[in-house]
């Protein structure tokens, strides 16, 4: 058996060879403090109608319940900041949804990652996740030294800001662990709080998910958006990037190198009229591999009507 240092080097080199921008490793253990915060957040109803957030509480806070015998949590970041952006006058779509659905892109990378580990290290037990299971990925990213959680609830890296997808690979392979990221570089800045049009960002890095524009335009399945949100969406049709766009740390964001995240022409250029004239058949063809399918055709039409 090789020393942990060689396994660790192989893991990090493999991560970069697969296109991940950052890789950090933490010891797999129960997240006691995070469990208390999550319980408080749920009790206050900040998850709105996202009832799935209440499920699998123990799995969210203990990686050994997701992967028996887990010893290491490998956290991976993949940049999604686009090289091109929408015109300001078209219905706005969150930058993460410009190209192919990241779930599919990252799932394929994680599958390859695990295969390479088994081929080169031996039979190990492991599972990869990206929004596909109850994993507190931002907490693990901080524990593995990749960045800090900003006042807007997003993980922020000091070198490249916050436009990253977070993926997690939990394994029973024992590795060398990175030091946690202990500093908070938000300082006295409150730009994300001040610029949130729905007041979803509360003090102490607490987000009222039930007030977030992303919640209303993606997660909420009701066919009516509450009237009190009228005129607050600032032309956001799918998701919202306001709290990231105003963050000073995102001046360091650089365009991603992932071909699968190349923006769809329709995302960049569809006018409000184009969206309104779009048929369900065309929607299913154009956005077959897009995150927009999460809202479905009816949800997109609902959002457009609300922006009128």
Distances (CA, A) of 196 to 151, 212, 223, 249, 263: 12, 9, 24, 17, 25
DSSP state letter for 88 = T
Q: b/e string for 122-159 if b means 16 or more Cβ within 10 A? A: eebebbbbbeeebbbbbbbbbbbbbbbbbbbbbbbbee
Active-site residue, 131 included: yes
Establish how many alpha carbons lie within 13 A of residue 171's alpha carbon, considering only the half-sphere containing its beta carbon.
26
List the end-to-end C-alpha distance of the chain, in Å, as a whole number. Answer: 64
- Catalytic residue (one of 58, 131, 184, 199): 131
Q: 306 — phi, psi (to 5°)?
A: -70, -30
Q: Which two tokens stand for residue 178?
A: 């990175």
Give the C-alpha separation, 64 to 245, whole Å. 36
Q: Which helix (H) or strand (E) holds 269?
A: helix 265-269
Helix (H) or strand (E) holding 156, with range, is strand 155-156
Question: How far is residue 14 from each of residues 19, 21, 101, 116, 255, measured CA to CA in Å?
Answer: 9, 11, 23, 8, 22
Q: Element (H or E) spanning 78, and its range?
A: strand 72-79
Q: How far is CA 78 from CA 88, 105, 163, 170, 245, in A?
A: 26, 10, 8, 17, 18
Our CA angle for 244, 78, 234, nearest 5°, is 25
As annotated, the active-site residues are 131
């Amino acid at each position: 058996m090789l020393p942990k240092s060689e396994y660790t080097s192989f893991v990090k080199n493999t991560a970069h060879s697969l296109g991940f921008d950052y890789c950090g490793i933490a010891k797999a253990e129960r997240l006691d403090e995070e469990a208390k915060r999550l319980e408080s957040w749920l009790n206050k109803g900040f998850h709105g109608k996202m009832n799935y957030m209440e499920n699998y509480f123990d799995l969210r806070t203990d990686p050994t319940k997701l992967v028996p015998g887990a010893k290491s949590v490998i956290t991976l970041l993949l940049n999604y900041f686009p090289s091109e952006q929408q015109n300001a006058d078209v219905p706005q779509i969150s930058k993460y949804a410009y190209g192919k659905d990241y779930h599919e892109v990252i799932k394929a990378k994680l599958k390859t990652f695990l295969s390479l580990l088994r081929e080169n290290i031996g039979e190990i037990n492991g599972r990869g996740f990206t929004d596909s299971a109850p994993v507190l990925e931002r907490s693990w990213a901080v524990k593995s030294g990749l960045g800090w959680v900003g006042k807007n609830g997003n993980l922020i890296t000091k070198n490249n800001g916050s436009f990253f997808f977070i993926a997690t690979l939990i394994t029973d392979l024992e590795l060398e662990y990175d030091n946690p990221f202990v500093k908070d570089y938000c300082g006295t800045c409150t730009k994300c709080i001040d610029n949130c049009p729905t007041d979803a960002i509360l003090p102490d890095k607490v987000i009222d998910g039930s007030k977030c524009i992303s919640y209303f335009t993606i997660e909420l399945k009701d066919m009516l958006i509450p009237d009190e949100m009228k005129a607050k969406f600032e032309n956001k049709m799918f998701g919202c990037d306001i709290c990231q766009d105003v963050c000073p740390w995102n001046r360091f964001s650089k365009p991603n190198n992932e071909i699968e995240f190349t923006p769809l022409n329709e995302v960049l250029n569809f006018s409000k009229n184009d969206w309104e004239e779009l048929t369900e058949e065309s929607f299913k063809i154009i956005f077959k591999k897009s995150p927009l399918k999460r809202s479905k055709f009816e949800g997109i039409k609902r959002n457009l009507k609300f922006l009128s």
